[in-house]
Structure formats: C-alpha cells, structure tokens
C-alpha cells in the first residue's frame, strides 16, 4: 500500500514522502498514530508542495546563515560572567547561550563542553554546507 508520511518514522520514511508499506503496517501502526495517510491524489500533491516549500526555506536559511557567519568572522562576541579570583566562572557559557547571542541555530554551534573559565575561545560553527569559526571572549564582571 502506498502512503504519504506525515511524520518521520525511523526505518519507514521521512515526512512528506510517498512510501510503499505493507497493508497491515499501515492500518495497524501508521494510521492510528497519524504518522501517514493513504496516498490519494490530493495527499501526494500536498506532500510535493510541502517538500518544495521545505527545500526553498532550507535554501534561504543556508544563505542567511552563510551571510551571518561571514559577518561574525571579524567580530568578537563578549560574555560578562561572575567569576572567582582564579578566573573560574560560577555559571558556564554553553552552546545555547552562544547561539542566542550570535543569532544562529543551537545545532550549528559545536563545542565539546561549556566554557567555565575567563579567556578567549575559538568556537567552530557548522550548519549544512556552511563552516566557520567565531571568536568569543569571556570576561569577569
């Protein structure tokens, strides 16, 4: 039976794709969980339209992120945090906080562990085909 996937299902298919599955699997698993619908003409057209919109949005996002990365390459991002006399921070600087400050998706920031000391750090950024580094400076208040 051909179905149009509404949600991503591991081992079966991604959202907005048409896949061939066994009748029992579709009727007993996919349909009750609202993970798929039968592949009627309207459902297939809607899925193709959604895939086209998704591709256009992803292309635009990649362009915007590439522009943002090139702008951030020359900038230095400063974080002011409370620290003790030895330069150890009371509250670490993590990927989520960096992403908010530089206006990039959290999954684009790739650090092994949060920064817990005062200093200057190079943070690698990778999102899709876009790669770069940003410099952050952690200073004590």
Full-model pTM: 0.62
- Which spans in 8-131 are helix H? 23-25, 41-72, 95-102
| 103 Cβ contact list (under 8 Å, min separation 6) | 68
Mean pLDDT of 98-112: 88
More confident residue, 64 or 9: 9
Q: For position 96, what pLDDT does the model report? A: 92
Q: For position 14, what pLDDT does the model report? A: 92
Q: For position 8, what pLDDT does the model report? A: 94
Q: What are phi and psi of 46, to 5 degrees?
A: -65, -40
Q: DSSP letter at 77? A: E
**CA 67, CA 34: separation in Å to the nearest integer?**
38
Mean pLDDT of 136-140: 92
Q: How many other CB atoms are there within 10 angstroms of residue 138's CB atom?
A: 21
| 39 Cβ contact list (under 8 Å, min separation 6) | 1, 2, 3, 4, 18
Residues 6-12: contacts with CB within 8 Å, 24+ apart?
6/34, 6/35, 6/36, 6/37, 7/33, 7/34, 7/35, 7/36, 9/35, 9/36
Q: For position 125, what pLDDT does the model report? A: 87
Q: Mind listing the pLDDT tens digit for each residue in 65-79?
A: 888 888 888 888 999
The superfamily (CATH) of domain 2-64 is Ribosomal protein L9, N-terminal domain (3.40.5.10)
- The domains of the chain are located at 2-64, 67-140
Q: Mind listing the pLDDT tens digit for each residue in 90-103?
A: 999 999 999 899 88
Q: How many other CB atoms are there within 10 angstroms of residue 103's CB atom?
A: 10
Q: Mind listing the pLDDT tens digit for each residue in 23-65?
A: 999 999 999 999 999 999 999 999 999 999 988 988 888 888 8
Q: Does domain 67-140 have CATH number 3.10.430.100?
A: yes
**CA 124, CA 103: separation in Å to the nearest integer?**
15
Q: For position 38, what pLDDT does the model report? A: 95
């Amino acid at each position: 039976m051909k179905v149009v996937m509404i949600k991503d299902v591991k081992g079966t298919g991604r959202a907005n794709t048409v896949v061939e599955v066994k009748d029992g699997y579709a009727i007993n698993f996919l349909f009750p969980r609202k993970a798929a619908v039968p592949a009627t003409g309207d459902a297939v057209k809607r899925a193709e339209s959604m895939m086209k919109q998704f591709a256009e949005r992803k292309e635009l996002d990649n362009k915007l992120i590439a522009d943002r990365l090139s702008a951030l390459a020359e900038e230095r991002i400063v974080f002011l945090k409370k620290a003790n006399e030895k330069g150890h921070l009371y509250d670490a600087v993590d990927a989520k906080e960096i992403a908010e400050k530089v206006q990039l998706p959290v999954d684009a920031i790739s650090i092994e562990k949060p920064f817990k000391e005062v200093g200057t750090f190079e943070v690698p950024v990778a999102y899709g085909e876009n790669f770069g580094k940003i410099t952050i400076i952690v200073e004590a208040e």
